[in-house]
Amino acid sequence: MMRGISIALVGLALAAAAQPAAAAPWTRGYVVGTYEFAFHYGGRRDFARAGQIEPGVDCPRGSTQHFANEDQTRQALQMQKWRTKFEIESIVVPPGGETIFNYSLTRFFVWDRAASYRGWKKGIETYVNPFAAEDTGQPEVMSRISEGLDLDNNPQTGFTAPDGVKGVDNELYRAWGCDRPWRGGGDATLNLRANDKMQDGLYTMVIRLSGNADPMNDANAVLEIGYSPDKIIKDARGNLAVDYSYRLRKASQYTRLKATIRNGVIETEQAAELHMPHIAWFYNHTGDAFFRQGKLRLAVKPDGSLSGVVAGYRDWRDLYNQNTFAQSGGEQGVREHEDAIALYYALKRHADGMKNPVTGRYDGISTAYRITAGPAFVVDTDAPVPINGLAGEENRKRAYNAISDAMIRSTTLRVIEEVPPGTLEAAPRMDSPGSNIDILRLPNGAYLQQMLDRPRYNVPVDENGNIIEPEPKGQQVSDAN
């Protein structure tokens, strides 16, 4: 009897051993460390010529040079048919520069103001109303290679990926890939700025993978991506620290997607709406990226990190607003040598998704963002948590939302919108005697102030209609950081 029991037990054990091991639930978490437009830089990384960016095979016509010098600024202003040659020259080279200490900064804001008013007639702010200005011309990508994903399921359209896959849809790269501040081999100005601000606590994005098979091969995995209220932790060298815990907020700026994993390559389903934080470098323009028909493709690296892209169609007007009104269009243009007017026309030309049934035009442009992420513990919140705010910046955020709405109304309805108060587009930087702009000390300072458009809101005037300047309240400074 005992012998029979033993034989039976052995048989059961052998049968159990012959069966595959039961699938075990697994979870992997990551915190995003870098996040930027997936522009395929086609230049030589060893290019070394002072002050220049290698043109590269993707941008044989070079990168943007708007407002980089007097000649470039003169070209843009000459499109204002209602300005006289004398006016233009007075703006481009304000005389008497040797008489003031901060001439370069003063000229910077003179150019800023003049560049902001280039409509078909005097008084039209053209970053809010870009259709009212002439296209200054944007050098566009000529290459056939781009990072990104196939969004329209048509391998005959779009670019070819670096690995040879055809059908990559990334028209944002075609439109903006030669824009100087977004261009470079890992050292593009705005990429560096945005990643630096994200890593320093402006916002945090996390990814969580889960499934029931092998984490490197799972046909029924789940990918979650979204905002975390916890600031990124860095190590002593300033790099992304690994294996720290981050909460995942399951509200706005959050998406859950079905995914498949094959040999460590993660591909998600294509969702009608994909929500996650968008690229930002100031609090006022943080928010929801909101991809339509969005999806991700990521790869697990040998060190346990992730890298890949998220792609989809984004409203191109949102992209315009986020790049233009983080500060002001003129300041962005003169400092970064890009022109939002040219960027507007390039976006409009290459829009390829989200067809508007009323206008018949495309409101979206295919877009890809590049992501890298390090291992982390991503956990659910015990209770609902808000998106972190900055009390001192809420007025500026409201102003940013107002100017973004005005731009969308103007370009949709083709009507001229005024500049909403409180925005940097409306900031009278050269009007106050207490500012750091010494325009009134120039020999033609009063003439320049009279000639340049400047929006005014609830300002006092005397009996003759002349503006009564306020007493200086302290030095105004450039918000150029």
Share of residues in the chain with pLDDT > 90 (%): 59
Q: What is the CB neighbour count within 10 angstroms for residue 140?
A: 19
- The predicted-structure confidence for 108-158, as pLDDT tens digits, reads as follows 888 988 899 988 888 889 999 999 999 999 999 999 999 999 999 999 999
- The predicted-structure confidence for 305-351, as pLDDT tens digits, reads as follows 999 999 999 999 999 999 999 988 988 899 899 999 999 999 999 99
Does some domain include residue 143?
yes
Return the DSSP state at 145: B
Q: Are 127 and 321 in contact (CB under 8 A)?
A: no
CA distances from 75 to 147, 231, 234, 278, 368 (A): 34, 45, 46, 34, 33
Query: Mapping DSSP to helix (H, G, I), strand (E, B) and coil, where does residue 97 land?
Result: helix
Confidence tier at 52 by pLDDT (50, 70, 90): low
pLDDT of residue 429: 57
Does some domain include residue 71?
no
Does some domain include residue 446?
no
Q: What backbone torsions phi and psi does residue 142 show, to the nearest 5 degrees?
A: -110, -5
Q: Are 322 and 279 in contact (CB under 8 A)?
A: yes
| CA 261 to chain CA mean position, Å | 29
HSE value, Cβ hemisphere, 13 Å, CA-based, for 295: 19
- The predicted-structure confidence for 6-23, as pLDDT tens digits, reads as follows 444 444 444 444 444 556
- The predicted-structure confidence for 436-455, as pLDDT tens digits, reads as follows 567 777 888 888 877 887 66
| CA 54 to chain CA mean position, Å | 23
Mean pLDDT across the stretch 382-402? 91
Pair type for strands 245-248 and 362-380: parallel
Q: Looking at the predicted structure, is the pLDDT value of residue 471 above 60?
A: no
Q: Are 330 and 395 in contact (CB under 8 A)?
A: no
Q: What backbone torsions phi and psi does residue 391 show, to the nearest 5 degrees?
A: -55, -40
Confidence tier at 469 by pLDDT (50, 70, 90): low
Does some domain include residue 186?
yes
Mean pLDDT across the stretch 369-394? 93
pLDDT of residue 317: 97
Instruction: Count how many residues are written for the chain.
Output: 481
pLDDT of residue 431: 55
Q: What total of structural domains would you count in the chain?
A: 1
Rounded to whole angstroms, the Cα distance separating 159 from 392 reads 44
Pair type for strands 291-300 and 353-355: unpaired
pLDDT of residue 479: 34
Does some domain include residue 306?
yes
Q: Looking at the predicted structure, is the pLDDT value of residue 2 above 50?
A: no
CA distances from 336 to 84, 188, 253, 435 (A): 27, 11, 29, 23
Q: Looking at the predicted structure, is the pLDDT value of residue 465 above 70?
A: no
Does some domain include residue 131?
no
Mean pLDDT across the stretch 195-218? 96
Does some domain include residue 417?
no
Q: What backbone torsions phi and psi does residue 211 show, to the nearest 5 degrees?
A: -175, -165
Q: Please tell me the pTM assigned to this model.
A: 0.86
Q: What is the CB neighbour count within 10 angstroms for residue 388?
A: 17
Q: Looking at the predicted structure, is the pLDDT value of residue 51 above 90?
A: no
Q: Which domain holds residue 234?
A: 28-61+138-388
Does some domain include residue 291?
yes
